[in-house]
Structure 1
Amino acid sequence: MTSSQWRCDRCGEVDPFYVSERISPEILGAVRDRVRAADEALPIWCPWPLLPGWTVSGVGWVGDDRSPPQGTVVACSGPAPLGNGPADLVLVAERPGTGLGACLAGLPGPDPGDCLKAAVGGAVAHAKVRAAGHPTPLWSVTAGDGRCAYVGEARGLWLYVIAWPAAAGYLLAEQVFLQDLADCLPSELVYGAPSPQLRPSA
């Protein structure tokens, strides 16, 4: 029997993950149109305004042709906050059980689960962003391999913010505003070379 699902060695059958090989206004617009066509549209989170010197460097989505998208991802690239070369920031919005954010963050399982419970533990949020104007707390979860990861909820969906190198997480020490590109696609967005980080680790 044929199946549109992919198989992950850790999680079994998963929805396909599509990521563009390059980024442009037309490609981002096509992903936006696909997401907006669903009855329950997903946000496409992107820092806006972009951080100084940063560009949009990738976009992707999770799902098959028979059901609405289950997750979206945007990559941005620019100078590391501590002056240590280039950095990448990846933002994932996904429905529970999708697994893309956890995979990119290097976490076990399809959801942050025990990692998030341990991080929250009654503690004050480790970072905060404003997602579509709403204060959104994020908690640092165990990552590794030179990255850091923060997880929270926005619009009833998981929101992951993953940064390479790990020190790039200091970007979240400042107020970061997230725009839902499904609602508004600013013509002033700047596009750059494809990010190498939109490849789930094994």
Structure 2
Amino acid sequence: MRGEPSCPRCGGRVRAPGLFADRWSCPRHGAVPPLQPVLPPDVEVLSVVVRQAVVPVWMLWPLPVGRLYTGVAAAGDDLGGTRAVALACSGPVAQGGGTEEILLIAEEPGVGLGAYYAGIEGPGPGAELNPDKPAQAQVLAAGLPVSLWRLDHAPADRAVFVGEALGVRLWIVVRPESSGVLLHEDLVLTDLREAGAEVELLPCGALSPTLL
């Protein structure tokens, strides 16, 4: 588990603000909102993240049977607020056994946390996120239909879908890759900033290794 802030684009060490700089910075990527240590799946900890977030904190809602909340990572600081959040859910694979993990990531453009967990270069999805081309999937996020485009250049062990919801980037990373078919089902996402006390009812599992 990360014990100190890191770069949301590469996971490397970052320099804290000091006498000559008022922002966190990465030697490779310059000024970045720091990726804070990954937090275990605890509803009280999650409530703190929700309160500090200036981007949506997406969750499958209601959680499908057998799925658990398995951790959260957030990029930001007290000065600029939390500008990216990655939340993990895990559960049994519908067919064939095993476990699948879903990362739901909301971020302001340029933060790079979604690309980092997607396993691709650069802070964004590139030309594959093209509204002029047909979308490969759709979810309902905060009551609104959101089109998603699948990234063909993601690593073979995961399926990556990208779109925009509530004015910021939405990434959905599914592992293993074969589980990406679930994005063709009717998934419903809620922004936990609007969920209120219902957050306390989330069932928690073991910390997702995908977040680490």
Would you call these one fold, judging by a TM-score over 0.5? yes
TM norm structure 1 = 0.87
Deviation of 1:8 (Å): 6.2
**Which residue is 1:127 aligned to?**
137
**Which residue is 1:164 aligned to?**
175
**Which residue is 1:76 aligned to?**
89
**Which residue is 2:120 aligned to?**
107
Quote the Cα distance in structure 1 between the aligned partners of 2:95 and 2:27. Answer: 36
Q: 2:36 matched to 1:26?
A: no
Unaligned runs of 5+ in 1: 36-40
Q: Which has the higher contact order (CA 8 A, sep 6+)?
A: 1
Partners of 2:101 and 2:176 within 8 A in 1? yes
Q: 1:32 to 1:66 in 2, by over 3 A?
A: same
Give the ranges of 4+ consecutive aligned residues of structure 1 lying more than 4 Å apart after TM superposition: none
Q: CA RMSD in A?
A: 1.8
Decide which of 13, 24, 31 is 1:5's aligned counterpart: 24
Quote the Cα distance in structure 1 between the aligned partners of 2:184 and 2:201. Answer: 25
Decide which of 189, 201, 208 is 1:178's aligned counterpart: 189
**Which residue is 1:137 aligned to?**
147
**Which residue is 1:38 aligned to?**
none
Unaligned runs of 5+ in 2: 1-14, 18-22
Partners of 2:16 and 2:25 within 8 A in 1? no
Quote the Cα distance in structure 1 between the aligned partners of 2:201 and 2:27. Answer: 38
Equivalent pairs counted in the alignment come to 190
Quote the Cα distance in structure 1 between the aligned partners of 2:134 and 2:31. Answer: 36
Partners of 1:8 and 1:14 within 8 A in 2? no
**Which residue is 2:62 aligned to?**
49
Higher strand share: 1
Over residues 25-75 of structure 1, what are the superposed CA-to-partner deviations in whole Å (9 max), with x where a residue is unaligned?
Answer: 10111111212xxxxx31100000112210000112111222122111110
